[in-house]
Homo-oligomer: A and B are copies of this chain.
Amino acid sequence: MSRWKPDARRRLQDAALALYAERGFADTTAAAVAERAGLTERTFFRYFADKRDVLFGNEDQLREVFVGAVAASPAALTPLAATAAGLRALAVELQPRQDDQLRRARIIAAHPELRERELAKLASWSSALRETLGERGVGADSAALAGEVALAVFRVAFRRWTTQGADAELDELVQAALDELVGFVGRPPVGAPVEPAPPPR
Protein backbone atom coordinates (compact mmCIF):
# COMPACT_ATOMS: atom_id res chain seq x y z
CA MET A 1 0.00 0.00 0.00
CA SER A 2 1.60 3.28 -1.03
CA ARG A 3 1.79 5.94 1.67
CA TRP A 4 0.40 8.74 -0.43
CA LYS A 5 -2.50 8.45 -2.85
CA PRO A 6 -3.69 11.49 -4.74
CA ASP A 7 -7.30 10.40 -4.45
CA ALA A 8 -7.14 9.18 -0.84
CA ARG A 9 -9.53 11.81 0.41
CA ARG A 10 -12.20 10.96 -2.11
CA ARG A 11 -11.71 7.22 -1.63
CA LEU A 12 -12.19 7.61 2.11
CA GLN A 13 -15.38 9.60 1.53
CA ASP A 14 -16.73 6.98 -0.88
CA ALA A 15 -15.86 4.15 1.50
CA ALA A 16 -17.48 5.97 4.43
CA LEU A 17 -20.75 6.57 2.58
CA ALA A 18 -20.85 2.94 1.47
CA LEU A 19 -20.17 1.56 4.94
CA TYR A 20 -22.49 3.95 6.79
CA ALA A 21 -25.28 2.91 4.41
CA GLU A 22 -24.52 -0.84 4.72
CA ARG A 23 -23.72 -1.17 8.45
CA GLY A 24 -25.01 2.04 9.91
CA PHE A 25 -23.06 5.05 11.06
CA ALA A 26 -22.90 3.90 14.69
CA ASP A 27 -21.45 0.51 13.81
CA THR A 28 -18.73 1.74 11.48
CA THR A 29 -15.25 2.68 12.73
CA ALA A 30 -12.69 4.95 11.13
CA ALA A 31 -10.47 1.86 10.83
CA ALA A 32 -13.16 0.04 8.83
CA VAL A 33 -13.53 3.03 6.52
CA ALA A 34 -9.78 3.13 5.93
CA GLU A 35 -9.70 -0.63 5.27
CA ARG A 36 -12.53 -0.42 2.74
CA ALA A 37 -10.67 2.39 0.99
CA GLY A 38 -7.48 0.30 0.92
CA LEU A 39 -5.71 2.81 3.15
CA THR A 40 -4.35 2.86 6.68
CA GLU A 41 -6.15 4.26 9.70
CA ARG A 42 -3.30 6.74 10.02
CA THR A 43 -4.09 8.02 6.52
CA PHE A 44 -7.73 8.39 7.54
CA PHE A 45 -6.79 10.67 10.40
CA ARG A 46 -4.51 12.70 8.18
CA TYR A 47 -7.61 13.79 6.25
CA PHE A 48 -10.42 13.68 8.79
CA ALA A 49 -10.78 14.33 12.52
CA ASP A 50 -13.28 11.50 13.01
CA LYS A 51 -15.88 9.42 11.23
CA ARG A 52 -18.40 12.25 11.42
CA ASP A 53 -16.02 14.68 9.78
CA VAL A 54 -15.90 12.57 6.59
CA LEU A 55 -19.51 13.53 5.85
CA PHE A 56 -18.66 17.22 6.01
CA GLY A 57 -15.33 17.14 4.19
CA ASN A 58 -16.54 19.28 1.24
CA GLU A 59 -18.24 21.89 3.38
CA ASP A 60 -15.70 24.72 2.99
CA GLN A 61 -15.26 24.10 -0.71
CA LEU A 62 -19.02 24.16 -1.33
CA ARG A 63 -19.43 27.33 0.69
CA GLU A 64 -16.77 28.97 -1.47
CA VAL A 65 -18.55 27.84 -4.64
CA PHE A 66 -21.74 29.39 -3.26
CA VAL A 67 -20.51 32.76 -2.01
CA GLY A 68 -17.80 32.96 -4.68
CA ALA A 69 -20.50 32.98 -7.35
CA VAL A 70 -22.44 35.63 -5.43
CA ALA A 71 -19.34 37.81 -5.09
CA ALA A 72 -18.43 37.33 -8.76
CA SER A 73 -21.89 38.22 -10.09
CA PRO A 74 -22.29 41.63 -11.79
CA ALA A 75 -22.61 44.52 -9.36
CA ALA A 76 -25.80 45.63 -11.13
CA LEU A 77 -27.64 42.46 -10.08
CA THR A 78 -30.19 42.77 -7.30
CA PRO A 79 -29.29 40.97 -4.04
CA LEU A 80 -31.83 38.27 -4.97
CA ALA A 81 -30.34 37.76 -8.43
CA ALA A 82 -26.83 37.61 -6.97
CA THR A 83 -27.99 35.09 -4.36
CA ALA A 84 -29.69 33.06 -7.08
CA ALA A 85 -26.39 32.94 -8.99
CA GLY A 86 -24.75 31.51 -5.87
CA LEU A 87 -27.46 28.91 -5.24
CA ARG A 88 -27.37 27.77 -8.85
CA ALA A 89 -23.57 27.46 -8.80
CA LEU A 90 -23.94 25.27 -5.72
CA ALA A 91 -26.57 23.22 -7.52
CA VAL A 92 -24.32 22.68 -10.56
CA GLU A 93 -21.50 21.60 -8.25
CA LEU A 94 -23.68 19.07 -6.43
CA GLN A 95 -25.54 17.67 -9.44
CA PRO A 96 -22.96 15.00 -10.46
CA ARG A 97 -22.93 13.70 -6.88
CA GLN A 98 -26.66 13.04 -6.60
CA ASP A 99 -26.29 9.42 -5.42
CA ASP A 100 -23.74 10.38 -2.78
CA GLN A 101 -25.84 13.31 -1.66
CA LEU A 102 -28.90 11.12 -1.32
CA ARG A 103 -27.04 8.53 0.75
CA ARG A 104 -25.47 11.27 2.81
CA ALA A 105 -28.85 12.94 3.44
CA ARG A 106 -30.33 9.64 4.64
CA ILE A 107 -27.47 8.98 7.05
CA ILE A 108 -27.66 12.50 8.44
CA ALA A 109 -31.44 12.40 8.83
CA ALA A 110 -31.10 9.28 10.98
CA HIS A 111 -28.63 10.74 13.51
CA PRO A 112 -29.37 13.75 15.72
CA GLU A 113 -25.68 14.58 16.20
CA LEU A 114 -25.22 14.63 12.44
CA ARG A 115 -28.32 16.78 11.96
CA GLU A 116 -26.83 19.26 14.44
CA ARG A 117 -23.61 19.34 12.46
CA GLU A 118 -25.52 19.76 9.19
CA LEU A 119 -27.42 22.70 10.67
CA ALA A 120 -24.17 24.29 11.77
CA LYS A 121 -22.92 23.87 8.20
CA LEU A 122 -26.00 25.55 6.74
CA ALA A 123 -25.72 28.33 9.32
CA SER A 124 -22.13 28.95 8.23
CA TRP A 125 -23.28 29.19 4.59
CA SER A 126 -26.04 31.57 5.60
CA SER A 127 -23.55 33.67 7.52
CA ALA A 128 -21.09 33.68 4.59
CA LEU A 129 -23.87 34.88 2.29
CA ARG A 130 -24.75 37.60 4.78
CA GLU A 131 -21.16 38.87 4.72
CA THR A 132 -20.91 38.69 0.94
CA LEU A 133 -24.16 40.61 0.49
CA GLY A 134 -22.88 43.12 3.03
CA GLU A 135 -19.81 43.67 0.86
CA ARG A 136 -22.19 44.38 -2.03
CA GLY A 137 -23.80 47.17 -0.01
CA VAL A 138 -26.81 45.32 1.43
CA GLY A 139 -27.62 46.51 4.97
CA ALA A 140 -26.82 44.16 7.84
CA ASP A 141 -30.43 43.36 8.81
CA SER A 142 -31.53 42.78 5.22
CA ALA A 143 -28.48 40.63 4.54
CA ALA A 144 -29.23 38.49 7.61
CA LEU A 145 -32.79 37.98 6.43
CA ALA A 146 -31.58 37.17 2.92
CA GLY A 147 -29.15 34.59 4.30
CA GLU A 148 -31.94 32.73 6.13
CA VAL A 149 -34.36 32.92 3.23
CA ALA A 150 -31.79 31.76 0.67
CA LEU A 151 -31.05 28.70 2.77
CA ALA A 152 -34.78 28.00 3.16
CA VAL A 153 -35.10 28.07 -0.63
CA PHE A 154 -32.10 25.79 -1.04
CA ARG A 155 -33.37 23.30 1.55
CA VAL A 156 -36.72 23.04 -0.24
CA ALA A 157 -35.03 22.47 -3.62
CA PHE A 158 -32.54 20.01 -2.15
CA ARG A 159 -35.27 17.98 -0.47
CA ARG A 160 -37.13 17.70 -3.78
CA TRP A 161 -33.94 16.70 -5.53
CA THR A 162 -33.21 13.85 -3.12
CA THR A 163 -36.79 12.55 -3.34
CA GLN A 164 -37.52 12.95 -7.06
CA GLY A 165 -35.06 10.36 -8.35
CA ALA A 166 -32.30 10.27 -10.91
CA ASP A 167 -33.77 12.64 -13.52
CA ALA A 168 -34.14 15.59 -11.16
CA GLU A 169 -31.89 18.56 -11.91
CA LEU A 170 -30.98 20.48 -8.80
CA ASP A 171 -30.41 23.78 -10.57
CA GLU A 172 -33.88 23.59 -12.13
CA LEU A 173 -35.37 22.84 -8.73
CA VAL A 174 -33.48 25.80 -7.24
CA GLN A 175 -34.85 28.03 -9.98
CA ALA A 176 -38.37 26.68 -9.41
CA ALA A 177 -38.11 27.36 -5.66
CA LEU A 178 -36.83 30.88 -6.38
CA ASP A 179 -39.79 31.42 -8.73
CA GLU A 180 -42.11 30.22 -5.97
CA LEU A 181 -40.45 32.65 -3.58
CA VAL A 182 -41.08 35.50 -6.01
CA GLY A 183 -44.65 34.31 -6.49
CA PHE A 184 -45.20 34.13 -2.74
CA VAL A 185 -43.72 37.55 -1.97
CA GLY A 186 -44.91 39.41 -5.03
CA ARG A 187 -43.55 39.91 -8.47
CA PRO A 188 -41.80 43.24 -9.17
CA PRO A 189 -43.29 45.36 -11.94
CA VAL A 190 -41.96 44.53 -15.39
CA GLY A 191 -39.34 47.10 -16.31
CA ALA A 192 -39.26 48.57 -12.82
CA PRO A 193 -36.02 50.44 -12.13
CA VAL A 194 -33.54 48.32 -10.25
CA GLU A 195 -31.75 50.12 -7.49
CA PRO A 196 -28.12 50.22 -8.61
CA ALA A 197 -25.68 48.32 -6.46
CA PRO A 198 -22.82 50.41 -5.04
CA PRO A 199 -19.49 50.08 -6.82
CA PRO A 200 -17.34 47.20 -5.55
CA ARG A 201 -14.93 48.24 -2.81
Residues of A contacting B: mostly: helix
Is the Cβ of B145 less than 8 Å from the Cβ of A181?
A: yes
Residues 138-197 of A at the B interface (beta carbon under 8 Å): 141-142, 144-146, 148-149, 151-153, 155-156, 160, 176-177, 180-189, 192
Q: Return the chain B residue nearest A186 by Cβ.
A: B188
Asked if A92 is at the interface of the complex by the 8 Å CB criterion, the answer is no
What range describes how many residues of A lie at the interface? 20 to 34
Residues of A within 8 A of B (CB): 78-80, 112-113, 115-116, 119, 141-142, 144-146, 148-149, 151-153, 155-156, 160, 176-177, 180-189, 192
21 contacts between A and B (CB under 8 A): A79-B184, A80-B185, A112-B113, A112-B116, A115-B119, A116-B116, A119-B119, A141-B180, A142-B180, A142-B183, A145-B156, A145-B184, A148-B152, A148-B156, A149-B181, A149-B185, A151-B152, A182-B185, A186-B186, A187-B192, A189-B189
